[in-house]
Amino acid sequence: MHELSLCGAIADIAARRAGDRAVEVIHLEIGQLRQVVPDSLTFCWSMLTASTALDGSVLDVERVAARLSCRACAAEFGLTDSFTFACAACGGLDVAVLAGEEFVVTALEFAPA
């Protein structure tokens, strides 16, 4: 379960940026291609932050849909449920990932002082 190590990295980022302020919410963007299970991430977060300065904070996860671009015909398309990386327009397999690989802490919300 790599979600636990991801939570450790998120906690390090939040703790460094927060200083002495209490963190309430950590906003994340996680791409569809990142193979992160949001429920597992949330479970690991509560386990990892228990009895720490981040105890009680929550993760707000925004999923970013995968977007691909065909290098042959320049068509842009998203992934279907079957995760087919073939171009929807020409069937070509030479594609570039435009979005969907994100894993970013976008914002921290602090408790009122």
pLDDT in tens, 65-91: 999 999 999 999 998 777 788 998 999
Whole-model pTM: value is: 0.86
Q: What is the extent of the structural domain holding 103?
A: 3-110
Neighbours of 94 (CB within 10 A): 12
Neighbours of 5 (CB within 10 A): 11
Per the structure, how many domains does the chain have? 1
Q: Which CATH number is 14's domain given?
A: 3.30.2320.80
pLDDT in tens, 28-76: 999 999 999 989 999 999 999 999 999 999 999 999 999 999 999 999 9
**Separation CA 36–CA 5 (nearest Å):** 11
